[in-house]
Amino acid sequence: MASKSRFVVGSHVWVEDPDEAWMDGLVEEVNEDELVINCTSGRKVNTNILGVYPKDTESPRGGVEDMTRLAYLHEPGVLQNLKSRYTLDEIYTYTGNILIAVNPFQRLPHLYNNHMMGIYKGAEFGELGPHPFAIADRSYRLMINDRISQAILVSGESGAGKTESTKMLMQYLAFMGGKAQADGRSVQQQILESNPVLEAFGNAKTVRNNNSSRFGKFVEIQFDENGKISGAAIRTYLLERSRVCQISDPERNYHCFYMLCSAPPEDCKKYKLGDARSFHYLNQSNCIELDGLDDSKEYVETRRAMGIVGISSDEQV
């Protein structure tokens, strides 16, 4: 808790603000439990001392990779560090062994290719920049060395990037687990191709996110004594079923409905499908198409993925 003795005239501080969340400034007056702060934005604020936190003036302008190195690990300090890194396109930051991801709202394929996985393979945790691959590699190494099962928790609010982060973790573990075979298809390939299938039937556009998972997911990847993938299981729960029959503008229903309406002509004729705007469960919202997403292409890709994970053509229809 803040106390009077912590601040004197000229102290650099953070003050809570209803519009900006936090503003930085200098203490101009100290009157018992009240402070007068001259903010860098030009505003002068009178506030209770309990709503004020000290500011580290020696913190690097670009922030720090691990926030346990911050002089003050409080809310404004954490948020400022994340903001500083985000402006430099650094979307990942550690707090000890916790990885914080800030959604860039754009594709960054150069961060997740095979070259990048090779860089993080076997590297000491913290030796390289913060990344989901570092978390996955550390878990894999602990499992191999200690022979103890590991768990990675992916948590956050809607639109934070949980779906993409989970995909990156699975991608790396599949990369490390090799290509153990199952029915002519590699388990590695089946694990990765399970994502588009789950997303087609369980993800939708919300106000904050174009590809939001409307269900929970528990992914279990099993490895043999040599560290190779031997099997996997994915359990889903709490699917938002009310979305099927009722959606709000400008959201979308589950991706699979729009994919079906964009299927090849022979499939549309076979299943008596038409334009998505002609169906009540879809036209409750004015948002039918998404920028950068080709539903007809996604339909073909999803059918292919269903075949890879073991769903036969008869079962698909």
Report how far apart, in Å, the C-alpha atoms of 276 and of each of 73, 247, 254, 262 are: 50, 14, 12, 8
Beta strands (DSSP E) in the chain are 12-17, 21-31, 34-39, 44-48, 52-54, 92-95, 98-101, 181-182, 185-186, 203-204, 212-213, 216-223, 229-237
3-state secondary structure of 137: helix
Residue 160, marked binder? yes
Quote the strand ranges of 85-205, DSSP E: 92-95, 98-101, 181-182, 185-186, 203-204
User: What tokens appear for 82 in the block?
Assistant: 């994340």
Report whether 2 belongs to an annotated binding site: no
> CA-based angle 129:133:139, to the nearest 5?
115
Is position 163 annotated in a ligand binding site? yes
Length of the chain: 317
> Is 157 a known ligand-binding residue?
yes
Residues facing 15 on adjacent strands: 23, 52
DSSP letter assigned to residue 257: H
CA distances from 234 to 20, 28, 101 (A): 41, 58, 23
Tokens standing for 224? 């043999």
Write the burial class of residue 55 (CB in 10 Å: 0-12 exposed, 13-18 middle, 19+ buried): buried
How far apart, in whole angstroms, are the C-alpha atoms of residue 158 and residue 236?
Answer: 17
| 275/263 Cα distance (integer angstroms) | 10
Annotated binding site: 156-163
Annotated binding site for ATP: 156-163
